[in-house]
Structure 1
Amino acid sequence: MRKEDVSFIRKGEGKDLVFLHGYLSSKEAFLPFLDYFSGRYRVTAFDFCGFGQSAPLTSPFSVSDYAAWTGEAFRLLGIEKPYCIAHSFGCRVAVKMQAIAPFGKEIFDKIIFTGPAGLLPRRTWKYRLKVKAYRAVKKWFPALAERKFGSEEYRSLSPVMKESYKKIVNEDLRGDIAKFSPRALVIEGTEDAVTTAAEAEEYAAILPRGGLKYIKGGHFAFAENAADFTLAAEEFFG
């Protein structure tokens, strides 16, 4: 991996504040915050491998692969123990980065998880029935199975990204979240239908040093309600 493989934006000076974007998003999702927080921090936002203008995936990445890639990006960009704001998929990566770190090493100083992903739903009978139906349809009509059961997000992906996506969404991170040692704050949108309030509450409860705050908005509440999000972030980072 080379520095040229990482598309990033950097502004300001001082303590590092890093932004980790969601799935099918990019560093540009955080542009207003980069401008604002660059007055106090050295802010950095980059595109994950396979997204935005960073290098495309050459093989299907798991969450652990993305965590290792991001750790190398930190090294190349000279980032060490930053504050962090992570959204959705970015929360998965941050959690896994800490999980694979050497014992006793904290990757982040403080971190905000917003719309956090990483909790697999409980295996209800409805879920098991849906899986059986999917497998039955896929056996005889694979194209129909993808249209019927695959999400719009999934259908938009390239073949290698589809394989990566399956690895990502099928990994439950509860065990890793429970071992996440840095101070953390979950900021959840009150109308978030992608990662629900129940998931955010469980996320915060599992985190050893986690808190929870609600602001008005959906899955992108940080952008929809930037004023309240920024205020909460400033209070948390201190």
Structure 2
Amino acid sequence: MKGMSSSEEDGHLVVKEEDIDDLGDDMDLWESHNRRSAFSPYRPVTVLTNLQRGNIQTQTAQAEPDDYTLHNRAAMGELSADDLRDIDVNELDSNGFTPIMWASYYGQLPTVRLLIQNRAKVNMEGQDGETSLLLAASNGHHEIIKLLISYGADPNHVDHMGNTALMYAAHNDHSHCGNELLDHGADITYTNVAGSSAFSIAVARGSKQVQLIMERHLLKLLEPS
């Protein structure tokens, strides 16, 4: 599969051109690709992926908890208040991501809440304009979306290709995310650099549930006040 560019047909999230033919479940994306596609981003290193799945071979040396970075532990939901003392909770990793971005993408609600309580910034951006909200929407974590917005996350933030969290939700038919975003001010009229809106993305992708939610939202807007 090739990463789509801004010249692709309407109805898609726009991504940078990159060859992603070989992106298998066990590939280390950080080593192989410097930039990530807009709608299939942000996997951890292979060791973390395998640990989460329980796929580590018995003959493989097990890493001790202290061997994991703050960011990896956030993705695994294994941070405690003690871990966050006297550290910068907004520290960037080598890919420009903060711990709360990792936790948001992997659906670690208690960890996201803990990081916010310890002054994590909800609107920090990654190298391509990614925020915690976009990452949560891309993977269907509506409760994290609700939490982030309640602490000031911008529901209409756009990444480097003009994609909003609502577009991410539409692309993957995450209806609860779409509903949460629309209830908290997401603008359905935004278009990305290819001219695609969240609605056109939903139609093109066959995201029926998100499409239905947006249709209902539009009908409400047309109702007399």
**TM-score using structure 2 length:** 0.32
Task: From the two aligned structures, give the one with the greater strand fraction.
Answer: 1
**TM-score using structure 1 length:** 0.30
